[in-house]
Amino acid sequence: MKLANKVALVTGAAQGIGKGIAQTFAAEGADVIINDVRCSEKTDELADWIRQQGRRAIVVQADVTKRDEVEAMVERGWDELGSIDILVNNAGIETIIPFLELTDEQWSDVTTVNLKSGWLCSQIFCRRAVAAKRQGAIVNIGSIQAAKVLPGRTHYAPSKLAIEALTRNVSAEMAPLGIRVNCIHPGLIETPMIDWVMKSPDLLPMVLAQISMGRPGQPCEIGSVAAFLASEEARYVTGQSFYVDGGWQGK
C-alpha cells in the first residue's frame, strides 16, 4: 500500500472528489481526517466506511478560510492521530455568473474559498510539520478551467489557475524542509457539482465530444493520482501541475 501508516487531512471531503480521495487514501493504508464546513450524515458515513477498511478516521468541522479554525483542526489531528503527513487542499466552490453581472461579493466568495484556503491550510500544515521536523506532502486540487475557457467563470477560473502559482512557490520554499507540493487539475468528474451537466441531454454530448476518452472521470481516478503524488513513489516530484481530464485539455 502506497500510504501505509500515513495520516492525511482532506478538506471538503463530504462528497465528490474529496470523498473519492479520502476513500482511495484509506484503501492505500492511510488514516484520514475528514474535513468539511459542516458535519453531516455524509461525513459520518465516510468515516464509518474508512474504519471498516481498518483505518482510523475523525471528522472535523472547520471553515478552511478562517485561521483559528484551521489551526484547531490541525492540532486536533496531531493530538488524536499522532501526526499529519499529507494535506489535500480540495475544498472549493463554483458559481456560474456572466462577467458583466459579477459582483464584488461573488468574486470574493469564490476566490477566498478556492485560493485563500489552500494558502492558509498549507501554511499552518507546514508550520506544524517543520516544528515537529517531519516531512510531508501537499496535493492541491485545481480545475481543467485553469486552461479551458468556459462562460461565466471569470472569477472561478483565475482562482484555479492561481493554485498553480501557489503550488510552485510553496514547493520552492518547502522542498529544502522535506515537504513536497503538487497540483491536480481534474476534468469532467462525475460528482454532485456537475449533476446539471450529466443530466443535460444537450450539453453532455457536446462536452464529451471534446474529451479524447469520451467519458467523464470518477472521483477515485483523481484519488489514485493524489495517492501517487502523496506517496514515496513521487519523492522526486514537486512543484508540478497535472491535468487528469481524459484528454480534454489537450484536444
Q: Which of 67, 93, 51, 68 is nearest to 59 (CA)?
A: 51
Alpha-carbon torsion 185, 186, 192, 198, what sign?
Answer: positive
Q: Which set of grid coordinates corresponds to residue 124?
A: 499552518
How many residues are listed for the chain in this entry? 251
CA–CA gap between residue 30 and residue 6 (Å, rounded):
5
Coil, strand, or helix at residue 145? helix
Q: Which set of grid coordinates corresponds to residue 75?
A: 492540532
CA–CA gap between residue 142 and residue 245 (Å, rounded):
12
Q: For residue 216, count other CB atoms closer than 10 A to its CB.
A: 21
Q: For residue 183, count other CB atoms closer than 10 A to its CB.
A: 26
Specify whether 243 is catalytic. no
User: Given 25, 125, 156, 228, which residue is catalytic?
Assistant: 156
CA–CA gap between residue 85 and residue 102 (Å, rounded):
39
* Active site residues per annotation: 156
